[in-house]
Amino acid sequence: MNAEKLINILSEFKCDQKLDRVIVKNIEMDHREITNEAMFICIKGYTVDGHQFAQAAVDNGASLIVSEKELNVSVPVVIVPDTSRALAQLANAFYQHPSADLKVIGVTGTNGKTSVTHIIDEIHRYVSLKTALIGTLQMVIEDQNYPVKNTTPDALFLQKNLRKMVDENVDVVTMEVSSHALDIGRVHGVDVDIAVFTNLSQDHLDYHQSMDHYLYAKSLLFSQLGNSLNQKKAKYAIINLDDSNADFLIKATAQPILTYGVKNEATFQATEIEWKSAGVTFNMNTPEGVIAIHSKLMGMFSVYNILAAAAAAYASGIALTDIQTVLNQTTGVKGRFQPVEHQQDFSVIIDYAHTPDSLENVLSTIQRFCQGDIHVVVGCGGDRDRRKRPLMAEVACQYADYAIFTSDNPRSESPQAIIDDMVAGISSQNYQIQIDRKNAIQQAIQRARKDDVVLIAGKGHETYQIVGDEVLDFDDEKAALEFLNE
């Protein structure tokens, strides 16, 4: 592609050299990926500044550098005020605005994004549409799985893969949109058609500093909805009316809205909810009448996830009978309220609850059916929101009969210091500390008696423990089975 043509899509840039003869065959943000005649965009990271790799990028064959400052290199340098923003715009243009040719469903919120995206995807697959999914677990294009580093990948990875999806004739992509991604602009230029809000509760204050800033980041998905001027595709916002931030998000968008909820009258509302030993039944009010749901999923939070997915699928044009069939058969996502199958007379459940709200939801769901004691194994991630630590410990001690506080990806922090933060305000005695997660799981299983439930929270599908810079193999399910089989 001609560099001048590509760079001219930027509204603000400075370049002293002529670009009309410069060719850009690829865009890269990592100098190690540079091939001949690629454009290198210098991104200022949190731990590393990409500008320091400009010369190495030129050595690897870069034909053009996009930078936030003057650089002394032998190829033309284009200076922009914000390279992350430029990355999103350039990648979108380079890959020819792929999202315009896809139906894009974006799901944001503190908890439930992975769960809701998977149900939405399952519904679209059921009606034989070609689908793709991007989120915490992986990227899936039809039946092919690809690893992802982040819940919402960077703009370059995103645009490149949206193009791949268009080329492979994918109809609909459902993606988790994290608050970090919205704040950094990883989804800038993605023409989202249906934006879904699950809920907002405390998390990520290390990054956003305040709940207001966190909410504002989430709201960007709604304020940007339909800004692409692509009139071919209908737009919808799907909002949880029971969340106290619903009004703020409704005001953020000019697009049509479908609401859902349990407590407030909503377009998709669950009534007559009944808890079963393995699932939940309820009536779902919809714009086309009432539908009976008999779901295998557990907990009030799953009712919300089902409603969100149903409303999104409806907005996407899928018949309610098809939506109903899938809702009644879906079994949920790996590591979310996942029972560990074994012969013992007590239950072991693995769940990804890593916020105070999700832990409370999961423990109160267990309280509904547990006839014995509840034991919880839980820790808090290092290099993440410190302020959620005491809240999670408090929820654990309040809702469980016994808590074992342990490590969950301590990263660069001391595991003991993280647990000290957790237990700082706890006055009850119903807990112990076991820094080693395997020992913690063993302790919990050894304490469990008939009819008890052991909840192993925080890591869900993860098969690793991040300690310092090392990613060590660790799997809650495998660890639990080892002790259950002893």
Ligand X SMILES: Nc1ncnc2c1ncn2[C@@H]1O[C@H](COP(=O)(O)OP(=O)(O)OP(=O)(O)O)[C@@H](O)[C@H]1O
Ligand Y SMILES: N[C@H](CCC[C@H](N)C(=O)O)C(=O)O
Site track for ligand UAG across 167-186, x = CB under 6 A: -----------x-xx-----
Least Cβ distance, residue 376 to ligand Y (angstroms): 15
Structure tokens at 477: 């399910």
As measured in angstroms, the least distance from the Cβ of 148 to ligand X is 11
- Looking at the Cβ atoms of 149 and 232, the one nearer to ligand UAG is 149
> 186 a known binding residue?
yes
- Find the shortest distance in angstroms from Cβ 274 to ligand Y: 32
**φ and ψ of 424, to 5 deg:** -50, -40
| CA 331, chain centre distance (Å) | 19
Positions in 403-442 near ligand Y (CB under 6 A): 408-409
Q: What is the 3-state secondary structure (H, E, C) of 85-110?
A: HHHHHHHHHHCCCHHHHCEEEEEECC
Residue 357 binds which of ligand Y, ligand UAG, ligand X, none (CB < 5-8 A, kind-dependent): ligand X
- Burial class of residue 372, CB neighbours in 10 A (0-12, 13-18, 19+): middle
Residues touching ligand UAG, count (CB under 6 A):
19
Using CB under 5 A as the binding rule, whether residue 358 contacts Mg ion is answered as: no
409 is in an annotated binding site: yes
Residue 50 binds ligand UAG (CB under 6 A): yes
Asked if 431 touches ligand X (CB under 6 A), the answer is no
Span 5-34, contacts to ligand UAG by CB under 6 A: 29-32
The alpha helices in 168-277, defined as continuous H runs, are 179-184, 205-208, 211-223, 246-252
The per-residue DSSP string of 139-194 comes to EEETTEEE--SSSS--HHHHHHHHHHHHHTT--EEEEE--HHHHHHTTTTT---SE
Binders of Mg ion in range 55-114 (CB under 5 A): 113-114
Residue nearest ligand Y by beta-carbon distance: 381
299 is in an annotated binding site: no
CB of 169 to ligand X, least distance (A): 27
Helix, strand or coil, per DSSP, at residue 283: strand
**Binding to ligand UAG (CB under 6 A): which residues in 83-112?**
none
Q: Report whether 277 belongs to an annotated binding site.
A: no
Based on the shown chain and the rule CB under 5 A, indicate whether residue 115 belongs to the binding site for Mg ion.
no
The reply to whether 111 sits in an annotated binding site is yes
Residues in 125-144 at the binding interface with ligand X, rule: CB under 6 A: 136
Strand spans (E) along 287-373: 289-295, 338-339, 347-351
Site for Mg ion in 142-201 (CB under 5 A): 176
Given candidates 97, 118, 186, 459, which one binds ligand Y under the rule CB under 6 A? 459
Strand order in the sheet with 144-146: 144-146, 139-141, 131-134, 172-176, 103-108, 194-197, 236-240, 257-261, 268-276, 279-286, 289-295
- Answer yes or no: are the C-beta atoms of 49 and 41 closer than 8 Å: no
302 known ligand binder: no
Q: Which residue has the tokens 């060590």?
A: 472
In the bound complex, what is the minimum distance in angstroms from residue 91's beta carbon to ligand UAG?
12
Interstrand relation of 26-28 and 289-295 (parallel, antiparallel or unpaired): unpaired
| Residue 113 labeled ligand binder | yes
| Spatial distance between the Cα atoms of 187 and 172, rounded to a whole number of angstroms | 16
For residue 112, say whether it is annotated as part of any ligand binding site. Answer: yes
Query: Token digits for 283?
Result: 């009536």
Pattern 82-111, ligand X, x by CB under 6 A = -----------------------------x
Interacting span for ligand X (CB under 6 A) from 317-325, 346-354, 387-395, 403-411? 346-354
One of 236, 381, 448, 461 touching ligand Y (CB under 6 A): 381
CB of 326 to Mg ion, least distance (A): 20
Question: CB burial class (10 A; 0-12, 13-18, 19+) of residue 18?
Answer: exposed
Does the footprint of ligand X cover residue 301 (CB under 6 A)?
A: yes
The Cα angle at residue 124 between residues 186 and 169, in degrees rounded to 5? 65
Cα 174 from Cα 197, distance rounded (Å): 13
**Residue of 68, 101, 154, 191 that binds ligand UAG (CB under 6 A):** 154
Distance CA 372, CA 385 (A): 33
Tell whether residue 458 is among the known ligand binding residues.
yes
For Mg ion, the binding residues (CB under 5 A) are 113-114, 136, 176
Binding-site positions read 109-115, 150-152, 178, 186, 384, 408-411, 458, 462
Annotated binding site for ATP: 109-115
> Contact positions toward ligand Y, by CB under 6 A?
151, 354, 381, 384, 408-409, 458-459, 462
